[in-house]
C-alpha cells in the first residue's frame, strides 16, 4: 500500500549538505500499525514529511495506493493529501485565530464535506473522543500543550482518512493521557486504518505491529513484534 524506494533527502544551505535520509526503502501494508523510532536528529520527522507528501524527496520515490506521491505537483498533492492522510504535526500547527472546534472543522471545509451542521457535529464528536468536550470553544493559546496535541489528533481524523501519520503525538502528554491517545490510535487500526507514529516512548512503540528504527538517515534492521491483542 505504501512503498518507499531509495528515498534520499538532502538539506543544503549553500556550504554544507548532509543527507537527512539516505536511500531509504520499505513497504507498509494496509491496516498496519507502524512505530518509527530513533534518536533526535536521526531523520524521523523528515521521513514522515516525505511519506505524507509535506516535503519532496531529493531522490527516490513514494507510492501510496497506486499514486506516485513524490511526482505530484504541490496543488495536486494538497488535494490528494486532504482526502488520504491525516497528519498530526510535532508542533501541532493549529490556527491560533480559530477555536479548537473551528480548527477541526477546517479540513472538512477544505474537502467540502457535508453540511456545516454535520461538520460541526463531527468536530464535536471527535473533540469529545479525545477528551476535549469542555474545550471546544477555546482558542489554541488558551489551552495546555497536551490539549493542543489532542485537538491536532482530532483534526487529523476530520476527513476520515485511510492513513494517519503522527509525529510524537504523545510528546506533551503525561503517561495516562499518552496511554489513552495510543489506545485511540489502536482502535483506528482495528477499524482498518493504517497508522504510522513517530515516538520516543519505547513502552508505546512496542504496542505497534512493527517498528522501523531510523539511525543517521537509514532504517536499521526491523525489530518486528506482534501486537498483543487484549
Ligand atoms: N529544514 C531543514 N534544513 C536543514 N536541515 C534540516 C532541516 N530539517 C531537518 N534537518 C536536519 O536533518 C536531520 C534529521 O532531522 P529530523 O528529521 O528533524 O530528525 P528527527 O525528527 O529524528 O529528530 C537533522 O540533522 C536535522 O538537523
Ligand atoms: Mg522530529
| Probe target for ligand 1 pocket from 46, 58, 212, 213, with the most ligand atoms within 8 Å of CB | 46
Does any domain span residue 230?
A: no
Does residue 39 lie within any of the structural domains? yes
Q: Which atom of ligand 1 is nearest to the CA of 39?
A: 22
Q: What is the pLDDT of residue 226?
A: 46
* CA pair distance 172, 174, nearest whole angstrom: 7
Kind of pairing, strands 85-88 and 67-68? unpaired
Residue 19 lies in a domain: yes
**CATH of residue 90:** 3.40.50.300
Q: pLDDT-based confidence at 230, cuts 50/70/90? A: very low
Within-domain flag for 179 = yes
Q: What is the distance between the terminal CA atoms of the chain, rounded to a whole angstrom?
A: 26
pLDDT digits (tens, 9 = 90+) for 134-167: 999 999 999 998 899 899 999 999 999 999 999 9
Q: How confident is the model over 34-58, as pLDDT tens digits? A: 999 999 999 999 999 999 999 999 9
Reply yes or no on whether the pLDDT at 16 is more than 80.
no
| Residue 10, in any domain of the structure | yes
Rounded to 5 degrees, φ, ψ at 227 are: -75, 130
Residue 216 lies in a domain: yes
Quote the cell numbers at residue 110: 477544505
Instruction: Report how far ligand 2's centroid is from the alpha carbon of 223 (Å).
Output: 20
Tell me: pLDDT of 201 over 90: no
Indicate the number of domains in the chain.
1
Helices of type H across the chain: 44-51, 74-84, 100-110, 116-129, 145-156, 175-190, 202-205
Residue 229 lies in a domain: no
**Nearest ligand 1 atom to alpha carbon 198:** 21
Is 123 within a domain? yes
Question: The whole model's pTM is what?
Answer: 0.89
Domain coverage including residue 201: 2-224
Amino acid at each position: 500500500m505504501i512503498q518507499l524506494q531509495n528515498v534520499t533527502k538532502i538539506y543544503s544551505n549553500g556550504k554544507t549538505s548532509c543527507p537527512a535520509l539516505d536511500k531509504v526503502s520499505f513497504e507498509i501494508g494496509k491496516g498496519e500499525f507502524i512505530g518509527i523510532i530513533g534518536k533526535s536528529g536521526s531523520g524521523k520527522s523528515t521521513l514522515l514529511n516525505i511519506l505524507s507528501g509535506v516535503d519532496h524527496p531529493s531522490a527516490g520515490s513514494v507510492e501510496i495506493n497506486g499514486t506516485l506521491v513524490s511526482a505530484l505537483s504541490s496543488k495536486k498533492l494538497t488535494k490528494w493529501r486532504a482526502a488520504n492522510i491525516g497528519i498530526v504535526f510535532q508542533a501541532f500547527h493549529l490556527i491560533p485565530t480559530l477555536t479548537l472546534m473551528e480548527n477541526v472543522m477546517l479540513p472538512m471545509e477544505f474537502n467540502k464535506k457535508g453540511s456545516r451542521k454535520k461538520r460541526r457535529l463531527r468536530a464535536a464528536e471527535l473533540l469529545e473522543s479525545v477528551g476535549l468536550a469542555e474545550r471546544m470553544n477555546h482558542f489554541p493559546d488558551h489551552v495546555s500543550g497536551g490539549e493542543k496535541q489532542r485537538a491536532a489528533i482530532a483534526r487529523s481524523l476530520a476527513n476520515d482518512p485511510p492513513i494517519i501519520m503522527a509525529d510524537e503525538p504523545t510528546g506533551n502528554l503525561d503517561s495516562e493521557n499518552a496511554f489513552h491517545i495510543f489506545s485511540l490510535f489502536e482502535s483506528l487500526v482495528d477499524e482498518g486504518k493504517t497508522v504510522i507514529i513517530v515516538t520516543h516512548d519505547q513502552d508505546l512503540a512496542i504496542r505497534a505491529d512493527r517498528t522501523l528504527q531510523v539511525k543517521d538517515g537509514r532504517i536499521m534492521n526491523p525489530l518486528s513484534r506482534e501486537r498483543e491483542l487484549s
